[in-house]
Every structure is written in C-alpha cells, then in structure tokens.
Amino acid sequence: MNLLHLTLTDGVYDYGAIILEDSEIKWLYRLKSVKTNSTVQVYVDSTFCYYLVKELFLSSFYRQCFLDRTKEKYGSTLMLRLKPTRYNLIDYNWNDRVYLLVRERCELDHALSWLSTLGGAFSALGDYFTNCAEMAGRISMHQLQLALKLGDPNIAVRCRLYMSLSLIQKKRYKQAKWIVLNEFKNAREATIVDQRLVNMCKGIWSKLQYEYGLHKLHLKGSNKLVITKK
C-alpha cells in the first residue's frame, strides 16, 4: 500500500495531518500525539506550505508525484515544521491606494452633508429672497458634482430635484417641470423602485402646481390693474 502520513506543526500548535493513500487524500484535524523523535522533520515556509497543501488537494497528478518522491526519500511519515514566512504578505502599495480612496470618500461624504444643511437653509429662504434661491441652486449643482463623483445615483436624483426647487423659486417653471417629470419617470421605471424618490417628485410637483397657479393669478391681477389705469 502506497501511504504517506504528513503532519503539520510549528512546534507550538499541531494543525492536523494529511493522509495520502494512492489517489486518495484525507485531512485529520485532531491528533492524539505527535512523536517528533522518530519522525523526519522538514522545515518549510508557512506560505509555501499553504500552497503545497492546496495543490495536493486540487491536483491528483501532483499528489501522486509528491507521494512517490516523498515516500522514497523520507519514508511513510513526515513532519512539516512551519517557519514564519520570509515574504511580506501585506501589499502596502495597494493599501496606500485604498487608504486614499477611503479618505476621499469620507471627505466627500462630509462635504455633501455640509452642503445639504447649507442648501436646505438657503432653499427655505428662497421663497422670500431671490438671491437665496440662486444660492440654493448653486449649492445643488455642487452637490450633484459630488454625487456623480461618489457614483451614487440616488443622491444625484435628489440633487437634481433640489435644483428644480430652486428653479421654481426663480419662476423658471418649464425647466423645473422637465426635471421633475424626467426624474419621476426614471424613478417609476427603475429596477428597484425607491418610494421616497417617487414621493419626493410628487411633493415637488405639487409645489410647482401651487406656485405656478399663484404666478398666473398674479399676472391676471397685474393685467387688470393696467386696464383699469387706462
């Protein structure tokens, strides 16, 4: 019977044993005892051992070659003593790149939250002051740029809807109407419908109708005053 008993240990912990028998391979996780005196010991790099064991389980051809060569040289029992790896397993270059991306995302989120707070304040005042409505629109544009950089489509949709609010306050109703209708259509036809976006579109549409109605009444009142004066 062609059989090889392969034990894995680092001198402190025993990680189990691998039994190679012809074309079969088994992993034993619990060992009663490991006799180091009568067993041939070979010191190997821990990373190399990982890939060695993985290849033994994956390739039957490699497993058979390893079984024949190892048994011929070391006998039927072999202990692999694991040593700390000589190679740096942490990719510090990639870590630096990921660190920069994470920091950039944190700063963008922070800036977006500040712009949301500031934009809300100017939007509330935009109903009474034209310059505040203009500033709210500019803030919405900055928010949209950040949302596109973050790659978050939901935030981008909200920024465009905020922009439509600014347009309503500046009495640019046609442009606001186009934005709201377009975003409402996209929200309804999305694969996963976000009901909050749908409700947001409905709310802004109601405000658009109300403000446009007031605007028409104001125009009618102005025309009557002009005719009366004549």
Q: Residue 179's pLDDT is what?
A: 93
Name the residue with tokens 């409402």: 184
pLDDT digits (tens, 9 = 90+) for 83-126: 888 777 777 888 888 998 898 888 888 888 888 888 888 888 88
Q: What is the DSSP letter of 2?
A: -
Contact 19, 25 (CB under 8 A): yes
pLDDT digits (tens, 9 = 90+) for 15-74: 888 888 877 888 886 555 445 555 788 899 888 888 898 898 888 888 888 888 888 888
Q: Residue 220, Cα to own-chain centre: how many angstroms?
A: 54
pLDDT digits (tens, 9 = 90+) for 194-230: 888 899 999 999 999 998 888 888 877 766 555 555 5
Q: Report the chain's mean pLDDT, rounded to a whole number.
A: 84
CB atoms within 10 A of CB 39: 14
3-state secondary structure 132-201: HHHHHHHHHHHHHHHHHHHCCHHHHHHHHHHHHHHHHHCCCHHHHHHHHHHHHHHHHCCCCCCHHHHHHH
pLDDT digits (tens, 9 = 90+) for 153-175: 888 898 999 999 999 999 899 99
Domains of the chain: 3-83 (no CATH), 92-229 (1.25.40)
Contact 198, 186 (CB under 8 A): no
